[in-house]
Structure 1
Amino acid sequence: MTTLILGGTGKTGRRVAQHVDQARIASRGTGFDLGDPSSWALDGVTAVYLVEPDLQAEPRLPRFVAEAVAAGARRLVLLSAPRAGEEGHPLYSAERAVRESGVGWTILHPNWFAQNFSEGPWAQGIRDGVLTLPTGEGRVPFIDAEDIAEVAAAALTGDRHDGEVYELTGPRAVSFGEAVALIARAAGREIEHEDVDPEAFVERQTAYGVPLPVARLLTGLLTDLRDGRGADLGDGVERALGRPPRSFEDFVAGTTWT
């Protein structure tokens, strides 16, 4: 039973690998390229953890799914996103391909990762002492990547999760100000959340080299939070694992802040 893990060195992929036997890591470091079928190495693969690292690329997962199933994969777990089942979303074709694959499948819809504060796009702001985002007082039930990985591993190794779409969130929504205050207390230093005008945020991102369409997409997702969207709680962790999700406080306490 060999599980191929796309993005196997990423925030969720490397954690999934710790929970499954016979994990085969697919990453740039292993020569894997989702855009190059000659690099896919699907022989012997029975289950696949699917991740699309570049939402701006032309859809690549549908072809990969077809090739994996043809090569013998019998279980697929897709790391997707809320509302990805709606036509026009960058992951819509991936979800459709998984659902129509003819094998066992599970789709994960995680909310914003708690680890964005520690090892993702907001980590530098935390280190600098000022996290500047156009999120206002918006609240988010941040999901711990460890919970995502445990749900994914359960779905990769057992058929009880076939046909399930899991909405993955933490147990309560917190504002960015509250989140940063919790981190500051744990780190023992001053850290602030600073709200910023959306257009100013776009300009800042493009100044750092982010392509304008990507900057606008990211800014739109963040301003959605400011406007009160994205605060709904999901029951996916409890349905999949039979326990509540980890709280943001638990994430902060279990993280080393430098």
Structure 2
Amino acid sequence: MQNILILGGTGKVGRRIAQRLQTDGVPARTATRSAGDLRLDLDEPATWRPAFDGVTAAYLVEPNLQASMENRERIPHLVAEAVAAGVRRFVLLSAPLADDPGHPLHAAEQAVRGCGAEWTILRPDWFAQNFSEGPWLPGILAGTLALPTGQGRTPFVDAEDIAEVAATALTGDGHSGRTYHLTGPRAIGLAEAVALIGKATGRAVRYIDVDADAFVERQISCGVPPAVARLLTGLFVAIRDGQATTPSDDVTRALGRPPRRFEDYVAGAVDRWRV
């Protein structure tokens, strides 16, 4: 029987994976720095081996973008430790463009590909849940979401779909050696997204475009490290420039059903904006 460890088990995707596996009666434990079933701190290698004791499959995520930029080998080192402990299957949450050797998650992807165990890599597009559980929620609640995406569009993916693909890859066959680009069924702009949220909630919500350089400076002034601020802004600019518009069919390939629509996500999350 599989014994699964979910790193970042209290995060957007990790907690959804845990819920799915528990509902299905699959033995699974969550590991976080402080709030999971087990303690695993990526900054403390001494916590790694005990967390992987008896584990056969693991979901991996890099929870700290700044840390991954400063030390791109910490996930590869974790993978090596996990394999030594007996883990034989990995599902890694990565990101688009991680084929680029300069990407913060490139080394992590290379590590799971070369570790000798079964592996599946997930590269989701922008999470729909950024509007309801993440950094864009304060703007939605305040009535104005300001980002440097212009009129660009992107196929937001529901974290429920990401979690279902991850859970399926952790427990089922046919996913080893696959890299899934996970998206929603169609690309939409930020203005349309907030309009759909406003319509569903009865709130007045608008989107405004902002200058990319000004956005970088605003992030830095809020304490975001400059390198991270520039990286994140570059991802927004990629939306503005039309580099993130094409939906993928990989959710369908993995699950045998189409991905959830943004409208369905909004209907399910509406109570989060009624505060």
Q: What TM-score, normalized to structure 2?
A: 0.92
Preserved contact between residue 131 and residue 193 of structure 1 (Cα < 8 Å):
yes
| Aligned twin of 2:234 | 220
Answer yes or no: is 1:250 the counterpart of 2:255: no
2: distance between equivalents of 1:173 and 1:154?
Answer: 25
Match of residue 81, structure 2, among 67, 71, 74: 67
2: distance between equivalents of 1:208 and 1:16?
Answer: 32
Answer yes or no: is 1:28 the counterpart of 2:13: no
1: distance between equivalents of 2:260 and 2:202?
Answer: 22
| Aligned twin of 2:196 | 182
Runs (5+) with no aligned partner, structure 2:
none
| Residues 42-191 of structure 1: pairs in structure 2 closer than 5 A | 42-57=52-67, 58-59=71-72, 60-191=74-205
Q: Any idea what the Cα deviations from partners look like across 1:111-149, whole Å, max 9, x if unmatched?
A: 000000000111110011000000000101000000000
Percent of counterpart pairs with the same letter?
64
SS, match of residue 202 in structure 1: helix
Q: Which runs of 4+ in 1 moved over 3 A?
A: none
Q: CA deviation at 1:37?
A: 1.5
SS, match of residue 56 in structure 1: helix
SS, match of residue 190 in structure 1: coil
Runs (5+) with no aligned partner, structure 1:
none
SS, match of residue 170 in structure 1: coil
Q: Any idea what the Cα deviations from partners look like across 1:18-72, whole Å, max 9, x if unmatched?
A: 1222211111224321121211221101100010012222021101111111111
| Counterpart residue identity of residue 81, structure 1 | A
Q: Any idea what the Cα deviations from partners look like across 1:62-96, whole Å, max 9, x if unmatched?
A: 01111111111111000001111221111111100
1: distance between equivalents of 2:242 and 2:192?
Answer: 16
Number of residue pairs the alignment of both structures matches: 258
Preserved contact between residue 161 and residue 259 of structure 2 (Cα < 8 Å):
yes
Preserved contact between residue 65 and residue 228 of structure 2 (Cα < 8 Å):
no
1: distance between equivalents of 2:95 and 2:229?
Answer: 18
Q: CA deviation at 1:215?
A: 1.1
The root-mean-square deviation of aligned C-alpha atoms, in Å, is: 0.9
2: distance between equivalents of 1:28 and 1:42?
Answer: 14
Preserved contact between residue 166 and residue 235 of structure 1 (Cα < 8 Å):
no
2: distance between equivalents of 1:229 and 1:193?
Answer: 20
Answer yes or no: is 1:18 the counterpart of 2:32: no
| Aligned twin of 1:37 | 45
| Aligned twin of 1:231 | 245
